[in-house]
Amino acid sequence: MIGLAKSKLFSPWTDPATGVTVYLLTHKVAPVQEAFYFVNNSASTDGRYLWFYCAFPPSGSQRYGRTLGVVDFERQKVRHFPDTQFQGASPLADAESGEVYWTSGPSIWRRPADPAAGAECVNSLPEDLVKLRPVHRLATHLTRSADGKEFFVDAAFGLQWVFGTLPVDGGDFQLWHRFDRNYNHAQFSPTDPDLVLFAEENHPDPITGLRFPIVDRMWLIRRNEAPRPVFDTPARVTHEWWDVDGEHVWCVWGNEAWRTNIASREVEKVTWPAHCWHAHVSRDGDYMISDSNERFYRGCPSSVYFLNRRTGKHVHILSNPEMKGIVGAQYHIDPHPRFCVSDRFVVFTAAVRGEVDLAVVKVDDLISRTE
């Protein structure tokens, strides 16, 4: 990211307990400025653009009503785009073009960071599928197929959950599977355009209001085939994502991150110094980032950690205080750390100033503390 330390948009902040310096986006275009959910990229590979979530309390929620902002490091500008109101954690930044994609209702939209440009509809679920029903979710997280041709959707409308693909060129929707309960967090394989990882989620029945818990969390589905579980026996792990090799999937459980081979089902477990909440791995597998909490609730206290897998050493980056009230409860302000810009930086959400900020830390600084 161009001139992060010298940028007038960011302010350095050093955690008094850990001594680690992070950079907070203190130039505000919204009262709440958050990192993307950890599954999805938010930055361009060249480091020019960094997208983030915006919220304007008390409007909107983590389900719908937040909008997008972008940092343009080359022009040293921060812009907010009111036309980007999105569902859930759907936004995805294209690493090469710097454009951003999001979902709204039955449609996928995109726009560039250029304020003179407008939003464009990429594709939509067909009307004869949706009919007159509101689409509560089109995609938990937008992910693109390995060949770049399709987006995967895990849509929720009426009393069904529908999996399938929407081509980037506006072509016809392809149905993969229908479910009668809530499955979500679907993510295209990074190497195989016909394979998707997804999750069994807690199911709130839309008629009775009863809640049916997770029994077996992690699943795979191949195009034109039936879904199959990742593990031989049911496992209630959580927060899953693909390894870059496409041969392994990750999840977290307790104070561990699990790396599972999808063919052999062999599991490698990485132990953390604290409860592991969300995690992400560098492309070479040498470094990991995670957040943690002692007791989960929206707005709970949280911490962010870095692990050097080559040396086995970790560093505690910072601790976020509890955020009470509507801001903490409404907008899913978990840290959600993720590597970006060719693994040179980690981006996450911080609350150390008593407000919700986008935060960036240099990976080289973290490596030097763990050599």
In this model, does residue 20 exceed pLDDT 70? yes
| In-domain check, residue 329 | no
CATH of the domain at 45: 2.130.10.10
pLDDT at 216: 97
Banded pLDDT at 66 (limits 50, 70, 90): very high
| In-domain check, residue 304 | no
| In-domain check, residue 293 | no
Give the residue-averaged pLDDT of 94-103. 97
| In-domain check, residue 370 | no
Give the residue-averaged pLDDT of 96-111. 97
| In-domain check, residue 172 | yes
Banded pLDDT at 3 (limits 50, 70, 90): confident
Question: 47 vs 96, 143, 286, 304, 342, CA distance in Å?
Answer: 10, 20, 21, 22, 9
For the stretch 128-155, pLDDT in tens is: 999 999 999 999 999 999 999 999 999 9
Alpha carbon dihedral 245, 248, 251, 257, in 10-degree steps, equals -80
Give the residue-averaged pLDDT of 300-327. 96
| In-domain check, residue 187 | yes
pLDDT at 2: 63
Q: What is the pTM of this model?
A: 0.96
- Range of the structural domain that residue 239 is part of: 32-288
| In-domain check, residue 85 | yes
Please tell me the total count of domains within the chain: 1
| In-domain check, residue 309 | no
- How far is 363 from 343, CA to CA, in rounded Å? 7
The closest alpha carbon to 44, from 96, 105, 101, belongs to 96
Banded pLDDT at 4 (limits 50, 70, 90): confident
